[in-house]
Structure 1
């Protein structure tokens, strides 16, 4: 098997998934995230001074906002590798126009491919076994999954299939808010991207975690009530008031700069 050509520049585009929400905090107050972990692995393939990384992702963004706010800067940066993740925030909202989401995601991928970049896309995880009400999202998620897989037929598109990875049914791969990844979840996504790009496996990112200790019914109830109060309530307030968690927030790495993770 031939060794993949190293990348010397990487631009991450997307929402909270790519920003790195709920991973370990860095000294500057930003979350680390799978994209930072990926950048560190890619930088190790070349001399550190020869590798540059930018992360334009901002939490809460819809695919139209990602396209409108991040796409032109990403194109201008000219990264050899671009990861593009978006659309799930749209799917989570009632009345999602999935055809519009597909059109915007497809146009974004096409614009990035026109630069000559290798583009990484993602399928969503399956929410039905870990998230109350997840079944209502499935028609849109499955349609978007099929669309992403279709885009993956392009020779410079790599698709990371998170949907079929049963390990993401385990709540330990998710943060307390049940929407963002835990540090272990971010570690696995970074490895999944590396393998999708043809790198040799460092570990089996799909492997299940060791069995967890059983949770009592009262403890589960307390956890569910805490989740509703701390996470679901504020999310609903933002939806009603038309606000987003990313309003006014700049990207954590707006420029292509050397990265030593």
Structure 2
């Protein structure tokens, strides 16, 4: 018996922040590829007529994604949309859980109201990825539980990355530990493809990655280099009230063919 394939899609729109934009996955031309681009490619392999827009902008919090990206997304009349938001809210000292959930649910309800298939996902434990973020682990777990409830209540498809061991493997994360690496972006793309039963997709994205072994000296050197190169500048931007997304625009604001 041939495997059952999922629904076909003609218009896919991605909403989100730096992860959806693709930071951490260079495209070789000065820009970024990312899981949404990769996922669109997998969809287009099954449905060559697919058109794809990516409205995500790095640094955006959920309220900003709702304010800046939701209306343009609705105007594009997608039959498939991914909505990934919340991590930039979670890592801020002033975290308003109720406001965050209200913004995410508003995006869910607006998109599903026009018969869009909406996909979202939970987040891996960032405390297992970046030691400085361990105090935020409980906050991430709570957000994940909230996302599961919101998705169930609004008929949104959810991919649960929290229990997946590969999602916190060092190889899945960029050197800055804030963004996925090409391997991580590939895992997310294949996970979404499997969830939507895209032809050719399978569960290999769940397979554990090879263990990493470092000496104490290597660990200390790596932590020092990361603190100087990434943590200090990040703190500096927060103190100045600046964002990595200042003056940035969506990289793919219009629905365009995926395949040449």
Counterpart CA distance in 2 for 1:155 and 1:250 is: 29
Indicate the SS of the match to 1:223: helix
Q: State whether structure 2 residue 211 is matched by structure 1 residue 180.
A: no
Gaps of 5+ in 1: none
TM-score by length of 2: 0.94
Q: C-alpha displacement at 1:143, in angstroms?
A: 2.0
What is residue 162 of structure 1 aligned with on the other side? 161
Indicate the SS of the match to 2:259: coil
What is residue 256 of structure 1 aligned with on the other side? 255
What is residue 99 of structure 1 aligned with on the other side? 98
What is residue 206 of structure 2 aligned with on the other side? 206
Indicate the SS of the match to 2:189: helix
Over the aligned positions, Cα root-mean-square deviation in angstroms equals 1.6
Q: C-alpha displacement at 1:156, in angstroms?
A: 4.4
What is residue 26 of structure 2 aligned with on the other side? 24
What is residue 13 of structure 1 aligned with on the other side? 15
Q: C-alpha displacement at 1:14, in angstroms?
A: 0.2
Counterpart CA distance in 1 for 2:259 and 2:32 is: 15
Gaps of 5+ in 2: none
Q: C-alpha displacement at 1:246, in angstroms?
A: 0.4
Counterpart CA distance in 2 for 1:91 and 1:16 is: 14
Indicate the SS of the match to 2:69: helix
Indicate the SS of the match to 1:177: coil
Counterpart CA distance in 2 for 1:203 and 1:143 is: 26
Q: Is the 8 A contact 2:54 2:250 kept in 1?
A: yes
Q: C-alpha displacement at 1:17, in angstroms?
A: 0.8
Q: Is the 8 A contact 1:117 1:156 kept in 2?
A: no
What is residue 170 of structure 2 aligned with on the other side? 171
What is residue 82 of structure 2 aligned with on the other side? 83
Indicate the SS of the match to 1:44: helix
The verdict on how the C-alpha distance between 1:156 and 1:118 changes in structure 2, with shifts beyond 3 A counting, is: farther
Counterpart CA distance in 2 for 1:218 and 1:87 is: 35
What is residue 116 of structure 1 aligned with on the other side? 115
Alignment of 1:205-244 (within 5 A): 205-212=205-212, 214-244=213-243
Q: Is the 8 A contact 2:194 2:203 kept in 1?
A: no
* Deviation digits for residues 159-179 of structure 1 (CA, Å, limit 9, x no counterpart): 011111111221111000011
Higher helix share: 2
The verdict on how the C-alpha distance between 1:175 and 1:65 changes in structure 2, with shifts beyond 3 A counting, is: same
Q: Is the 8 A contact 2:125 2:141 kept in 1?
A: no
Counterpart CA distance in 2 for 1:184 and 1:177 is: 14
Counterpart CA distance in 2 for 1:232 and 1:134 is: 11
* Deviation digits for residues 176-202 of structure 1 (CA, Å, limit 9, x no counterpart): 001100100000000111112133633
Q: C-alpha displacement at 1:154, in angstroms?
A: 5.0
Q: Is the 8 A contact 1:98 1:140 kept in 2?
A: no
What is residue 50 of structure 2 aligned with on the other side? 51
TM-score by length of 1: 0.93
Number of residue pairs matched by the alignment: 257
More off after superposition, 106-115 vs 63-72: 106-115
Counterpart CA distance in 2 for 1:119 and 1:240 is: 35
